[in-house]
Amino acid sequence: MADLRVHVGDLILRNPVMPASGCFAIEYREALDLNQLGALVIKSVSPKSRAGNPTPRVAETHGGMLNSIGIPSKGLDYFRANALPPYTAYDTPVVVSISADTAEEFAAACAEVSLPEVAAIEANISCPNLEADGMAFAMAPDTTYRAISAIRRRTQHPLWAKLTPNAANVAAVAKAAEEAGADAVVMGNTVLGMAIDVRTRKPKLGNVMGGLSGPAIKPIALRMVHQCHRAVRIPIIGCGGIATAEDALEFMLAGASAVQVGTASFIDPGVMQKIIDGLQAYCEQEGIAHLRELTGAVQLDRQLTDRWLRFAQQSG
């Protein structure tokens, strides 16, 4: 048996496979043994109560789906009393994902969930920043820095920054998160999109726009993981369209230490176990003793372009 353990900062996970926030809830214990996963990432909770977005909240697209759920929340007290306990009953690190409207609200919420039974906090800074006209914190390095450093001052817990692929320069955003004290970055989240029903002429989502996920966005997410890998020294958790062990391996080779699986669970609620089994099988086939050695192990030929240019000079 290959060693599938991976390190995310000080945390050691039994394998790199964990759910993506928002695509996982305790109901999946009916389809999976949660003691086999690398970590359990709970759907984002916000300190303020929210009803969520109007329905329809989901629409299918080619090779993916759009969603505009909107992070419905009953607040942190309800979360601690009712939502969190079932997850902590497992022998698997629990990651609490926090969403908030302002940097201060983020910091206070993260401090409140810095509980002994919580292994790490994922700051979902891909959510709208009310202090910047609703533009997500992770859209820019400065707002990312402000949010993450505010949180860092208030918690000793491992802190993961969940970045958005909608940012123009994710490497700069990842760098800002690292400088602000994040222990890891999660790259990434859904890509902002839209769909219209041509018969009714209505948007397919109640919220008009929503986040695109699934295999359709995988190459984008993979590219961004690699860009982050080149920019930061903290671990990267890859996320975006991962549905198979091969997808997970791609993300690790591009630079990810661990991966999150989201939309694929909606197609097959047992898919995370299949990915874990597939990683084990790959290691055995390839004679890999420690899976974590694959992180960033993509084979790049840095002289290729130069050689090609010399070669191409032969043409007319």
Partner 1 sequence: MNAVMSEQPAARIGTGAGCAAQVASHRCEVMEHRWVNARYKYLRLRAQAPLARITGCGQFYQLRCPVSERQQPFLLRPMSVYGTGPEDGTVEFLYNVTGVGTRALADLPVGGAMEIVGPLGNTFGFEADYKRILVVARGVGLATMAPLVREAGNNGVAVTALMSARSPADLMREEFLRGVEAQVHSVYDSDGSSAVEHIEILLRELIDTQAPQAVYTCGSHRLLMLLQRVLADYPQIRGEVAMEQRMACGMGVCLSCVRLFDCSKEAGKQDMQFLRVCREGPVFPISTVVGEVEFG
- Give me the least distance between CB of 108 and partner 1, in Å please: 25
User: Judged by CB, which is closer to partner 1: 61, or 114?
Assistant: 61
Give the interface segment with partner 1, choosing from 30-38, 94-102, 151-159, 217-225 (CB under 8 A). Answer: 30-38
- Give me the least distance between CB of 53 and partner 1, in Å please: 10
User: Judged by CB, which is closer to partner 1: 203, or 235?
Assistant: 203
Tokens 């419905």 belong to residue: 72
- Give me the least distance between CB of 30 and partner 1, in Å please: 4
Q: Is 284 in the site for partner 1 (CB under 8 A)?
A: no
Give the interface segment with partner 1, choosing from 125-133, 183-191, 200-208, 276-284 (CB under 8 A). Answer: 200-208
Q: Is 117 in the site for partner 1 (CB under 8 A)?
A: no
User: Judged by CB, which is closer to partner 1: 9, or 269?
Assistant: 269
User: Judged by CB, which is closer to partner 1: 58, or 135?
Assistant: 58
Give the interface segment with partner 1, choosing from 16-24, 101-109, 281-289, 297-305 (CB under 8 A). Answer: 16-24
User: Judged by CB, which is closer to partner 1: 22, or 165?
Assistant: 22
How many amino acids of this chain bind partner 1 (CB under 8 A)?
46
* Euclidean distance between CA atoms 120 and 114, whole angstroms: 8
Site for partner 1 in 42-61 (CB under 8 A): 43, 51-52, 54-61
- Of 27, 156, 289, 314, the one binding partner 1 (CB under 8 A) is 27
* Contact track, partner 1, 57-96, x by CB under 8 A: xxxxxxxxx-x-x--x-------------x--xx------
Largest CA distance in the chain: 73
* Euclidean distance between CA atoms 137 and 202, whole angstroms: 30
Binding site for partner 1 (CB under 8 A): 22-25, 27-35, 43, 51-52, 54-65, 67, 69, 72, 86, 89-90, 200, 202-204, 206, 214, 265-270
